[in-house]
């Protein structure tokens, strides 16, 4: 599809020159080089999501911008991989003259929704309805410097975790950490742990959705300089006790799916795993671990800082935009109401866990 200077294509239809231009624009961006924003992630999603598209914006013969997205019924659009992608937005030449209305019209979209929009996305940030924190670990100056930060901000946490790591090794077998494990059986084990964790905590099981399972499998085989699937595993003897699957670029490790064997919960193997991931990432020249949006005790313990991400939608006048508002805004307002009241949020969490237990009985 073509509309003036904007061409819409499927993810598999980009030429290598266009991919290189995408990467060059991304390298020139002020944003961290998050692998979710690379062409390889969009192309992987496109294998399993039939509505996946890319709008290519031209200045003369040269591509000057890309917007990966998914198109749904009545032209309702969403960020590529929304629900699992932890960094979203357009890849644009700095200063590009582009209006959201022009872009959505060319894509035949009535709306475009996002839930992890990068802070540097000036074209879309003004349409945000909510701001959230994504938690980061800075290892730019090396792992030893990171450990010294942890000792200063949470000395008890670091001391306790390292002690648990030693006890785990004594009681379960010698510990071995693999930063980039290629064994498919280890990935299957991680997905089984994660599914059980989702059910245990009353959350929607992402791996019950076939497209997500297949996407993770595809990305586990992806080896590109700025988007490489990375499975990290902590073994005790020959037995995996904690694992994580994420994506890495040359400078960012995007943490995605961490989990552990509940049998070893008292040793906090997930925390031990994250410390070893930080150490290995620093050794590989990676400066940032992005733990993603969503508050969690382990993130509070491990983080060195926070970055903002945004949720919201751009809409065009019409039926599709009205449907988007009706489907999203009431739920968003309810969530905001609950989050602003800690006692109510705590009750909601207990209710979800109780519901999960009832489903298992």
Residue 317: its pLDDT value, please? 77
The whole-model pTM stands at 0.88
Residue 322: its pLDDT value, please? 54
Tokens for 242, please give them: 């904690």
Number of CB atoms found within 10 A of residue 361's CB? 4
Q: Give how far the C-alpha of residue 266 lies from the chain's centroid of Cα atoms, to the nearest Å.
A: 27
Ranges of the chain with pLDDT below 70? 1-4, 318-361
- Is residue 77 within 8 Å of 104, Cβ to Cβ? yes
- Is residue 58 within 8 Å of 68, Cβ to Cβ? no
Closest CA relative to residue 5, chosen from 55, 41, 70, 75: 55
Residue 318: its pLDDT value, please? 63
3-class secondary structure per residue, the chain: CEECCEEEECHHHCCHHHHHHHHHHHHHCCCCCCHHHCHHHHHHHHCCCCCEEEEEEEECCEEEEEEEEEECHHHEEEECCCCCCCCECCEECCCCCCCHHHHHHHCCCCEEEEEEEECCCHHHHCCEEEEEEEEEEECCCCHHHHHHHHHHHCHHHHHHHHHHHHHHHHHHCCEEEECCCCCHHHHHHHHHHHHHHHHHCCCCCHHHCHHHHHHHHHHHCCEECCEEEEEEEEEECCEEEEEEEEEECCCEEEEEEEEECHHHHHHCHHHHHHHHHHHHHHHCCCCEEEEEECCCHHHHHHCCEEEEEEEEEEECCCHHHHHHHHHHHHHHHHHHHHHCCHHHHHHHHHHHHHHHHHHHC
d(CA 77, CA 313): 9
Residue 10: its pLDDT value, please? 97
Residue 134: its pLDDT value, please? 97
* pLDDT tens figures, 52-80: 999 999 999 999 999 999 999 989 999 99
* pLDDT tens figures, 139-163: 999 999 999 999 999 899 999 999 9
d(CA 134, CA 146): 18
Q: Give how far the C-alpha of residue 54 lies from the chain's centroid of Cα atoms, to the nearest Å.
A: 19
Closest CA relative to residue 272, chosen from 147, 181, 161: 161
Closest CA relative to residue 132, chosen from 113, 153, 118, 111: 118
Closest CA relative to residue 303, chosen from 271, 280, 343: 271
107 exposed, middle or buried (CB, 10 Å; 0-12, 13-18, 19+)?
buried
Residue 360: its pLDDT value, please? 41
d(CA 223, CA 220): 8
- Is residue 110 within 8 Å of 76, Cβ to Cβ? yes
Angle between the 342-360 and 319-339 helix axes, to the nearest 10 degrees?
100
């Amino acid at each position: 599809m073509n509309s003036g200077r904007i061409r819409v294509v499927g993810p598999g239809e980009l030429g290598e020159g266009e991919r290189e231009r995408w990467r060059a624009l991304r390298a020139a961006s002020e944003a961290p080089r998050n692998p979710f924003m690379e062409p390889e992630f969009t192309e992987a999603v496109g294998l399993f999501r039939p509505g996946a598209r890319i709008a290519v914006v031209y200045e003369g013969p040269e591509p000057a911008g890309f917007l990966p997205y998914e198109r749904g019924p009545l032209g309702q659009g969403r960020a590529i991989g929304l629900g699992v992608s932890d960094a979203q937005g357009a890849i644009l030449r700095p200063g590009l003259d582009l209006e959201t209305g022009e872009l959505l019209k060319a894509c035949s979209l009535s709306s475009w929704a996002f839930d992890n929009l990068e802070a540097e996305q000036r074209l879309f940030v003004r349409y945000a309805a909510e701001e959230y924190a994504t938690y980061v670990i800075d290892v730019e100056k090396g792992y030893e410097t990171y450990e010294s930060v942890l000792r200063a901000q949470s000395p008890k946490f670091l001391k306790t975790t390292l002690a648990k790591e030693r006890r785990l090794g004594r009681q379960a077998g010698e510990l071995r950490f693999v930063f980039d494990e290629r064994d498919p059986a280890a990935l299957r084990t991680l997905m089984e742990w994660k599914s059980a964790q989702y059910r245990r905590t009353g959350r929607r099981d992402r791996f019950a959705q076939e497209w997500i399972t297949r996407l993770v499998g595809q990305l586990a085989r992806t080896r590109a300089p700025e988007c490489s699937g990375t499975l990290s595993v902590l073994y005790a003897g020959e037995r995996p006790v904690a694992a994580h699957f994420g994506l890495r670029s040359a400078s960012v490790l995007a943490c995605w799916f961490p989990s552990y064997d509940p049998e070893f919960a008292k040793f906090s193997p997930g925390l031990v795993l994250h410390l070893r991931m930080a150490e290995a990432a620093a050794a590989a020249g990676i400066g940032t671990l992005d733990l993603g949006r969503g508050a969690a005790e382990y993130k509070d313990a491990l983080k060195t800082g926070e970055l903002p991400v945004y949720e919201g939608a751009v809409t065009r006048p019409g039926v599709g935009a009205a449907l988007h508002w009706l489907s999203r805004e009431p739920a968003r307002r309810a969530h905001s109401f609950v989050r602003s009241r800690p006692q109510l949020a705590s009750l909601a969490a207990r209710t979800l866990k109780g519901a999960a237990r009832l489903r298992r009985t």
